[in-house]
Amino acid sequence: METIYTLEWMKQVARQARSENRLVGLVPTMGALHGGHFSLIRAAQQQCAPVITSIFVNPKQFAAHEDLDKYPRQLEADRAALEGMRVDYLFAPTAKEMYPDGFRTYVTVEGLSERLEGKSRPGHFRGVTTVVLKLFEIVQPHFAFFGRKDAQQAHIIRRMAQDLNLDTAVVVCPIVREADGLALSSRNAYLNPAERQAATVLHRALGAARQEIAMGERDALRLMGVMRKVLDAEPLAATDYVEIVDTENFEPITRLRRGCLVLLGVFVGKTRLLDNMLVEEKNGEFLVSL
Ligand code: AMP
């Protein structure tokens, strides 16, 4: 595996691969790699060669009060893990190269970026879309892989790619979980033992909704009520939002329909955790993917 630090060299390597008619795959990450990231890499390796994994803790997507300084950084361990997976390139640009003095240009997916996660984290998605567009320009991947764990982010990036006629197909992969249901996340490292136990409440709330759906419940408000009850019973958790939205446009819905996402944003102690489940209708039946 080659580690690339400069934008110019990354562009050249990726351009060369494209000119050889190879399918270039990109897996953007902020490092502190875990099984969720690895699943994206494996999905990329099934479709693409070369696979490029980027590690960049993007300062533009952290608000002033957020955890930029203490966000976990472990480049050497990450590099060894990627090497073990036979990733072709690790792209690890510096903030100075990505955002040189005088940087002024941002891209925003309007309307979507201000809701749900965006409401609690102003400017977050503007930072995400800006860095992802830059990565897409530098690497020009045929495919880019994202996790459904961050469902709103994946949706916003897909919208951006469509709206700006980008040549990159956005692939969204399933959520990887711990044995007790907690979705893997670099931020789980912030949880103390009591919080780690309490953090299963997100999965438990989704599970309660899944059970109601299996018993025939279709009313979104009632399903949200069931989840809130589970979340409210956990003293270390503070719910930010519980919503059920249409997968096509992320608008809230009142009754389950063809494709919807049940979304949770919850603080456990000071750590913000996300989780969601996908509900799809097939032949009159509602199938739930956690
Ligand atoms: P991050 O490093 O947290 O920015 O995440 C990089 C990518 O990995 C994003 O597309 C995330 O959605 C994805 N990801 C993070 N956690 C998981 C998980 N538990 N399962 C699947 N994908 C994940």
Nearest CA to ligand 1 atom 19: 184
Q: What is the mean pLDDT of residues 219-236?
A: 98
Output the six-digit token pair for 144.
């880019």
Closest C-alpha to 54, from 18, 20, 98, 23? 98
∠ CA 277-48-73, rounded to 5°: 65
Ligand 1 pocket, 40 CB below 6 A?
yes
Active-site residue (options: 37, 124, 155, 203) = 37
Point out the least confidently predicted range of 92-101, 174-183, 280-289: 280-289
Ligand 1 pocket, 27 CB below 6 A?
no
Please state the pTM of the whole predicted model. Answer: 0.98
Ligand 1 pocket, 156 CB below 6 A?
no
Closest C-alpha to 159, from 149, 146, 173? 146
At 16-62, the pLDDT tens digits run 999 999 999 999 999 999 999 999 999 999 999 999 999 999 999 99
Q: What is the mean pLDDT of residues 107-131?
A: 96
Long-range pairs for 93-98: beta carbons < 8 A, 24 or more residues apart: 93/5, 93/6, 93/7, 93/10, 93/54, 93/56, 94/5, 95/56, 95/59, 97/5, 97/6, 97/7, 98/7, 98/56, 98/58, 98/131, 98/134
Please tell me the predicted confidence (pLDDT) of residue 180. 98
Q: Is 37 assigned a catalytic role?
A: yes
Q: How far apart are CA 150 and CA 252, in angstroms?
A: 17
Question: Which alpha helices (H) appear in the chain, and where do they start and end?
Answer: 7-19, 35-47, 75-84, 95-98, 117-120, 124-139, 151-163, 193-198, 201-214, 220-232
In the block, tokens 């993917």 appear at 289
Please tell me the predicted confidence (pLDDT) of residue 281. 95
Give percent of the chain above pLDDT 70.
100
Q: How far apart are CA 169 and CA 129, in angstroms?
A: 15
For residue 215, the CA-to-ligand 1 centroid distance in Å is 31
Q: How many CA atoms are closer than 13 Å to the CA of 147, on its beta-carbon side?
A: 24
Please tell me the predicted confidence (pLDDT) of residue 213. 97
Ligand 1 atom with least separation from CA of 186: 3
Closest C-alpha to 147, from 1, 44, 32, 22? 44
Average pLDDT, rounded, for the chain: 97
In the block, tokens 């994994």 appear at 53
Please tell me the predicted confidence (pLDDT) of residue 284. 87
Decide if pLDDT at 174 tops 90: yes
Give percent of the chain above pLDDT 90.
98
- Cβ atoms of 241 and 258 closer than 8 Å: no
**Cβ atoms within 10 Å of 275's Cβ, excluding its own:** 24
Q: pLDDT-based confidence at 157, cuts 50/70/90?
A: very high
Decide if pLDDT at 246 tops 90: yes
For residue 28, the CA-to-ligand 1 centroid distance in Å is 9
Q: pLDDT-based confidence at 124, cuts 50/70/90?
A: very high
